[in-house]
Amino acid sequence: MKRTNYCGVLNAAHLGTKQTVCGWVNSYRNHGGVLFIDVRDRSGLVQIVVGPESPFFELASSLRNEYVVEVSGEVKHRIEGAVNKNLPTGEIEIAVENLKLLNTSVPLPFDVEKSREASEETRMKYRYLDLRNPVMVRNLTLRHKIAQAARRYLDSQGFLEVETPMLTRSTPEGARDYLVPSRIHHGQFYALPQSPQMFKQTLMASGIDRYFQLARCFRDEDLRADRQPEHTQIDMEMSFVTIEDIHEIVEGLMTEIFKTAGQTLQTPFAKLPYNDAMNLYGSDKPDLRYDLQIKKVSDIFAHTGFKVFADVLAAQGAIYAVRGEKGAALSRGQIDKLTDLAKKNGAKGLVWLKVKDGKWESPTAKFFTEEEMKALQTAVAAQEGDIILVGSDACVRTCQSFMGALRKELVKNLTPQCEWAFVWITDFPLLEYIPEEDRWDAAHNPFTAPHEEDLDKLESDPGSVRSYQFDMVLNGNELASGSVRNARRDIQERILALMKHPKEEAARRFGMLLNALQYGAPPHGGIGIGLDRVTALLSGEESIREVIAFPKTTQAVCLLTDSPNVVDAQQLKDLGIEISKE
Ligand code: ASP
């Protein structure tokens, strides 16, 4: 016997043929002395039938869930009434002529089909069984297809797949490094790459022109829902390109990737400068499936008698409002929840007005004039039955951010205008000021180039310098970051100096890149696209854990291998490492 087909592909077209399938017993039942067994493999299920007269009846009777079998027989039509229209193989069954038991199984900690209902801990501990679940097989298959589509497309565009080292020196992307101690060089460490950034830029200096890699990136960050210590990026870099060229290539790539899941994309994607994104949506990753905007309404309250607003405006702050459709029906408790959400995002409080029965309903209405409230209603286009939420803060960005958080909550009640809303967020500031350390830091990574027109402000007004950094956002998720880079060593050194990297330290940490730049590095730029997130969105999964074969838990632990864990005393000794007692 040799496998002729996968279980899940057999159908009426195979009637009358002899087939051999291999797989796991998914379920078994004895129906009036006849055994019906569902055999499962990666592709799906097929029913096999063993009658009481069969020489394999006894063996078949001994089968239990997840036993491994090899089965041969003729594909027959199921009897009337036994046809299962919901199953691709539901019209047929295999009448067993040969049956081999290849392996037994102890009882599983969960039903394979219900594995996704088990606790995270159980699923991760028995991930190899959880992966037998058809949904997990589907997710891994989609991930594979996306990776293949990316490779095919990038190859067709002249990209070379180049591997860069895992054992390397720190490449900053805003997280901590995972360190690997060297046994041969006591007291010295490699860092696992936060991204292949420096290597891919160096490859441009080498003249590779177009590079890509499905690159594993390691970032030791504080625990957050749906973060993984290691993630995969479709990492790309190209020479002699503008931002527009990078966007065009990536739009082509995303179109091909989405095709694998039967999805059609509209290109080019929308573009939104960072300042506009914050002003209109209160977020640098707005979900543009909804057109709801936050509105700056400071002007309306220029002469307000409401002290909170007046103080904010006197401090050069801002007042923003947003419409909550049908929100007049919200209870006090529900409004309190929105207020709490705003507070969690930096607000000190929240003003609200209901437009109800042609009147205003609000604890603060008495502080506002009729004209102010009318103007407010017009500004956010609120209708009878709506609520208007108004936030203010002395810091404009803070106000935008918590109004953005409210917007994100409010759109949950709206109908999306489209399925996939891609947007490029551009013109991020190059640097942000860290007051505690009295220095500037890269808003994303230190390799991004400033706008040429802003170059002369680099030292005099660093905060106003715009960069060629961009993000690709889909349905409110940041899917990718990229930029045009500093191809000139002198500009790169000026930026590192603002970040308070003295020359020697910069040379130590970024020496490879700085050196490579001075030997005629071409202008270049690139992007890193989160493969896990793209796959999760395309498979309709909330968490990237559902599309990674062996993820860590939210506590950054691999329960399958029980890592991280202690190591032998001898291993530590070899490395020259002592573990402190604290
Ligand atoms: N290295 C960047 C990141 O990991 C991506 C890029 O700019 O190419 O976010």
Give the position, in ligand 1's atom list, of the atom nearest the Cα of 482. 7
Q: How confident is the model at residue 504 (pLDDT cuts 50, 70, 90)?
A: confident
Mean pLDDT over 216-232 rounds to: 92
Is 386 a residue whose pLDDT tops 90?
Answer: yes
Q: Residue 571: which H helix or E strand, with range? A: helix 569-575
* CA gap 95, 25 in Å, rounded: 16
Give the position, in ligand 1's atom list, of the atom nearest the Cα of 197. 1
Residue type, 517: L
- Measured CA to CA in angstroms, residue 5 lies from 1, 70, 83, 137 at distances of 12, 11, 21, 18
Digit-coded pLDDT (tens) for 522-543: 999 999 999 999 999 999 999 9
Probe ligand 1: pick from 285, 481, 483, 533, max atoms within 8 Å of CB?
481
Distance 483 CA to ligand 1 centre (A): 8
Distance 482 CA to ligand 1 centre (A): 5
Q: Whose CA is nearest to atom 1 of ligand 1?
A: 197
Instruction: Bin 556: left if φ > 0, else alpha if -120 < ψ < 50, else beta.
Output: left
- Measured CA to CA in angstroms, residue 318 lies from 291, 310, 314, 434, 565 at distances of 22, 10, 10, 23, 50
* CA gap 566, 439 in Å, rounded: 38
* CA gap 114, 127 in Å, rounded: 13
Q: Whose CA is nearest to atom 3 of ligand 1?
A: 528
Mean pLDDT over 231-258 rounds to: 98
Give the model's pLDDT for residue 23. 98
Q: Whose CA is nearest to atom 8 of ligand 1?
A: 527
Distance 525 CA to ligand 1 centre (A): 10
Distance 243 CA to ligand 1 centre (A): 14
Distance 219 CA to ligand 1 centre (A): 12
Burial grade of 480 (CB within 10 A; 0-12, 13-18, 19 or more): buried
State the DSSP string of 284-347. SS--TTS----EE-GGGGTT---HHHHHHHHTT-EEEEEEETTGGG--HHHHHHHHHHHHHTT-
Burial grade of 390 (CB within 10 A; 0-12, 13-18, 19 or more): buried
Give the model's pLDDT for residue 358. 87
* CA gap 39, 96 in Å, rounded: 12
Digit-coded pLDDT (tens) for 318-344: 999 999 999 999 999 999 999 999 999
Is 225 a residue whose pLDDT tops 90?
Answer: no
Q: Whose CA is nearest to atom 9 of ligand 1?
A: 481
* CA gap 243, 526 in Å, rounded: 9
Q: Whose CA is nearest to atom 7 of ligand 1?
A: 482
Give the model's pLDDT for residue 196. 97
Which protein residues touch ligand 1 with a CB less than 6 Å away? 173, 195, 197, 445, 481-483, 526-528
Mean pLDDT over 393-414 rounds to: 97
The neighbour count for residue 571, using CB atoms within 10 Å, is 12
- Measured CA to CA in angstroms, residue 17 lies from 5, 10, 54, 92 at distances of 11, 10, 19, 11
Digit-coded pLDDT (tens) for 117-174: 999 999 999 999 999 999 999 999 999 999 999 999 999 999 999 999 999 998 888 8
Digit-coded pLDDT (tens) for 428-464: 999 999 989 888 999 888 899 999 999 999 999 999 9
Sign of CA dihedral 355, 361, 365, 369: positive
Give the model's pLDDT for residue 539. 96
Digit-coded pLDDT (tens) for 263-300: 999 999 999 999 999 999 999 999 999 999 999 999 99
The backbone torsions φ and ψ at residue 463, rounded to the nearest 5 degrees and listed phi first, read: -65, -20
Digit-coded pLDDT (tens) for 21-53: 999 999 999 999 999 999 999 999 999 999 999
Distance 531 CA to ligand 1 centre (A): 13
The most distant pair of C-alpha atoms in the chain lies apart, rounded to whole Å, by: 95
- The percent of residues above 90 in pLDDT, for the chain, comes to 92
Distance 218 CA to ligand 1 centre (A): 12
